[in-house]
């Protein structure tokens, strides 16, 4: 089943984990949207540089370090995803508390591992 996913912190650089995640999500037939600082595309996924009001998001997978996440707290809450994945290096206890208070599930996990082991 496809889970619409926002990759928050998407990079055009092919060796970045966020870029690899976009490709792997698409290989597994998930609907993917992406936000990053530089315009461009990762195969068929356009990287948006403006904050869009995506609808029906299942998952936000984070590729921003905690100090850069704070600027997006309200945005994440407004999107009302079912869950947020904190990839390695993005762990943020402050945001965990905010998500919990807003009844949004979260996982401290690696999107690539979840996909590879069919646990996504």
The candidate with the shortest Cα–Cα distance to 87, out of 13, 39, 19, 41, is: 19
Q: Is the pLDDT of residue 1 over 80?
A: no
pTM: 0.96
Q: Containing domain of residue 85, as a range? A: 5-116
What CATH number is given to the structural domain containing 34?
3.40.50.720
DSSP letter assigned to residue 68? H
Coil, helix or strand for 21? helix
- What percent of the chain is predicted at pLDDT more than 90? 98
> Which residue, chain included where needed, has tokens 């079912």?
82
The candidate with the shortest Cα–Cα distance to 36, out of 17, 55, 51, is: 51
Residues 82 and 55: beta-carbon distance below 8 Å: no
Q: Is the pLDDT of residue 43 over 90?
A: yes
Which helix (DSSP H) or strand (DSSP E) does residue 111 occupy? helix 111-116
* Burial classification of residue 42, based on how many CB atoms lie within 10 Å of its CB (0-12 exposed, 13-18 middle, 19 or more buried): buried
For residue 12, the model assigns a pLDDT of 98
Q: Is the pLDDT of residue 35 over 80?
A: yes
For residue 2, the model assigns a pLDDT of 83
Q: For residue range 57-78, what is the model confidence (pLDDT) as tens digits?
A: 999 999 999 999 999 999 999 9
Question: pLDDT band at 55, cuts 50/70/90?
Answer: very high
Q: How many domains does the chain have?
A: 1
The candidate with the shortest Cα–Cα distance to 63, out of 4, 5, 8, is: 8
């Amino acid at each position: 089943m496809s889970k619409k996913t926002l990759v928050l912190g998407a990079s055009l650089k092919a060796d970045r984990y966020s870029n690899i995640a976009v490709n792997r999500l698409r290989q597994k037939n998930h609907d993917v949207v992406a936000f990053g600082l530089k315009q461009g595309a990762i195969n068929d996924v356009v990287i948006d540089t403006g904050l869009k009001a995506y609808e029906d998001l299942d998952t936000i997978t984070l590729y921003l370090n905690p100090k850069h996440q704070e600027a997006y707290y309200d945005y994440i809450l407004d999107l009302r995803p079912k869950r947020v994945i904190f990839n390695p290096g993005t762990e943020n206890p402050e945001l965990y508390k905010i998500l919990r208070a807003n009844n949004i599930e979260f996982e401290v996990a690696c999107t690539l591992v979840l996909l590879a082991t069919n646990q996504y």
